[in-house]
Chains A and B, each alone.
Chain A
């Protein structure tokens, strides 16, 4: 009985949190804001981070003893969906999943965690490196004697961040280090993305940095944080495709040709239905993944596999739904004036970030084979 009451309480807390995120995003202008910020150069520093932090968004999945709300990934996913629905340019998912995910696991007592949860500082996490043909398999970026040397790539929220969490190779294995924005020898470049945002490329040459954690714990925490972020990116995609579907459904009901709404034509109806079914499957799958990842029994390997499942599904669905939504809009779908294109562009960026559906299906099947062999 106790459990039921707790569940109800959790549900209520979650609803409140969702509503406050919705209100904040709506008050700021919804998806119109995404367009304005994009046109203004892709910066997000307009106070939204502070407001989201005030609502508790960034600490949602952090355990209560570390200053968070302790509501788990499922709750974080609901917020990610809301961010996706308005194409929020803030790095909500990267902050919750990577930055805060690493800090609470590796250095919960460092003041940086509290500041990140409180939105006082916005940090970007640099963990991937560019190799000859995509993501580098190893880690070349070095940390020694309090200094970083090397380069990092695909960093969400890098441009405009107050500082960087950097995963580098130290003398005793992996290292998590902190480098301030503007530190000596640090160069930040933004690669402009389809949606107007930027993914950062960092280079360090003997850049002074603070050691936050090292050793196997860093590898383990990184794996967990990447799984979390991957699954949350899937939730953001599901929010995005859900909203894109609403927009296109509304459009086919109102746009008239041959003296009737184009939604009266069966071919349009069936295509719309297929998008709807795809969206519902993606939504159910991502929700199920996030709850499964919250369960204590899920080990790191299983969590990674679950995250891949979510990202694969959400990526396929969001790309298909936004592409088809452009088609169903007809010529105006190809103009920048109509919002639907913003969703397509965001879907392109989000589905490529942290690996697209093909990549995650491969990881998923490899993990499934491996678990099968171990059994």
Chain B
């Protein structure tokens, strides 16, 4: 088995890039929507055969065992080549949790099925009354013999209509003194009478988000991961790496590239007002990248990231939005037109980019929540 971490960063980057360049299907590059598994199955098989489905997992569980530094390179190359992450909730979210807190039996059963995508996962965290205030969740799981019986509703469940399983935070002790207590992390099959999925149509006209209703749905008690009522701390423990990932410059960088091609084609660069606004956006992206590499270097030195990493997400998502707003402006009267707009020999879908940027300031902890975190945990402001 290859020890990727023993390679130099440059060699590793080249190796990853070459694989993507030669193997990733051209028609799936920079996919504007979230694919169903069927759309990316062929690519997933290739990744699986290569052993690259789970770059962050330890090698003993079938992952690549990458260090934080190498992992960052892997993701950077993935985003640069426009490689879709596929249906990676299992790999990104539930796998690491099982690896860290699961029993041997759970690991032996679930992990290989995640890697092969025999099971396709969705994440059941948010609820109608528990968005930013996630600990307010009310979906109940009550013990009944060898099963949990689940009642309640999840929302914003990405691609639930194309998933076989859901990992979820549920309330198992409604009488706990603090609402963060009494929450457990359980796994449940979707294909059963007590589970109903409805898709939600978004502003972009897509249906990647769902509502999931649980009406006496059942899952074996063996599907509890970690201790009963300890789900909150476990779920939070896994967020550290995600925080830098969610603040990576790539989305904004890609959008800036599109904006430049589009605006040049449309002659917007002859307008001094547009030029200044473009320069502002481009420098916002470039200077964010300088800050990002400061955090990346911290990871490379083996340090854990502090709460201050939240600033990456705030800056880059807002910057991403401004870039897509500039795209709409550069489109002039075509700014409200659905579908790709042709400029020269390329086409740019300005509306799709605009819509894609909107939820980035909402998901993963809204930017307002990130500001709360920074003001309390980093700046030490009271209250």
Q: In the complex, A249→B378 CA distance in Å?
A: 11
Let me know if A253 and B382 touch, CB within 8 A: yes
A132 to B314, CA, bound (A): 43
Per DSSP, chain B at the interface is helix
CB contact between A280 and one of B275, B291, B371 (< 8 Å): that residue: B291
C-alpha gap A368/B279 in the complex (Å): 10
B276, closest chain A residue (CB) = A361
Q: How far is the CB of B294 from chain A (nearest CB, A)?
A: 5
Whether B382 contacts A362 by the Cβ 8 Å rule is: no
B348: Cβ under 8 A from any A Cβ: no
Q: Is B278 an interface residue (CB 8 A)?
A: yes
What mask results when residues 85 to 100 of chain B are scored 1 for a CB within 8 Å of chain A, else 0? Answer: 0000000000000000
Q: Tell me the smallest distance from the CB of B282 to a CB of chain A, in Å.
A: 7
In the complex, A144→B317 CA distance in Å?
A: 58
Does B11 belong to the interface (CB within 8 Å)?
no
Give chain A residues whose Cβ lies under 8 Å from the Cβ of B283.
309, 312-313, 361, 364
Contact indicator A277/B374 (Cβ below 8 Å): yes
* A309 to B, closest residue via Cβ: B283
A266 neighbours in B (Cβ, 8 Å): 372
Q: Which of A25-33, A64-72, A99-107, A282-290 contacts B (4 or more CB under 8 A)?
A: A282-290
| 17 cross-chain CB contacts under 8 A | A253-B380, A263-B375, A264-B382, A268-B381, A269-B379, A270-B368, A276-B379, A281-B291, A284-B287, A284-B290, A284-B294, A285-B290, A309-B283, A309-B286, A361-B276, A361-B283, A364-B283
Do B280 and A272 touch (CB < 8 A)? Answer: no
Cβ–Cβ contact A261 & B314, under 8 A: no
CB nearest neighbor in B for A364: B279
Q: B311 contacts which of A268, A277, A368 (Cβ < 8 Å)?
A: A277
**Contact partner, B375, options A260, A273, A369, Cβ 8 Å:** A273
Q: Which residues of A contact B280 (CB under 8 A)?
A: 361
Docked pose: A329 CA to B288 CA in angstroms: 28
Query: B232 at the A/B interface (Cβ < 8 Å)?
Result: no
B282 near A249: Cβ-Cβ < 8 Å: no
Task: Determine which residue in B279, B288, B374, B380 has the highest number of CB atoms from chain A within 10 A of its CB, and name it.
Answer: B279
B279 touches A260 (CB 8 A): no
Q: What distance in Å separates the Cβ of B330 from its nearest Cβ neighbour in chain A?
A: 15
B308: A residues at CB distance < 8 A: 280
Check A281 against B382 for contact (C-beta < 8 Å): no
- B382 and A365 contacting across the interface, CB-CB below 8 Å: no
Beyond known contacts A281-B288, A362-B275, A365-B275: 17 more, CB 8 A cutoff = A252-B381, A253-B380, A269-B375, A269-B379, A270-B375, A273-B314, A276-B379, A280-B291, A280-B308, A285-B287, A287-B290, A358-B276, A361-B276, A361-B279, A362-B276, A365-B279, A368-B282
| CB of B315 closer than 8 Å to a CB of A | yes
B315 touches A281 (CB 8 A): yes
Alpha-carbon distance between A358 and B293 when the two chains are bound, in angstroms: 26
User: With A284-B294, A362-B275 in contact, do A313 and B287 touch (Cβ < 8 Å)?
Assistant: yes
Contact A261 B382 (CB under 8 A): yes
CA distance A280 to B308 in the complex (A): 10
Q: How far is the CA of A285 from the CA of B269 in the complex (A)?
A: 25
* B333 interfacial by beta-carbon distance below 8 Å: no
Q: Which residues of B contact A284 (CB under 8 A)?
A: 287, 290-291, 293-294
B375 touches A362 (CB 8 A): no
Residues of A within 8 A of B193 (CB): none
CA distance A261 to B372 in the complex (A): 16
Closest CB of chain B to A125's CB: distance in Å? Answer: 28
Chain B 357-383 interface residues, beta-carbon cutoff 8 Å to A: 368, 371-372, 374-376, 378-383
Q: Which of B288, B311, B314, B381 contacts A269 (CB 8 A)?
A: B381
A276 touches B278 (CB 8 A): no
Interface bits A245-273 vs B (CB < 8 Å: 1, else 0): 00001001100000011011110111011
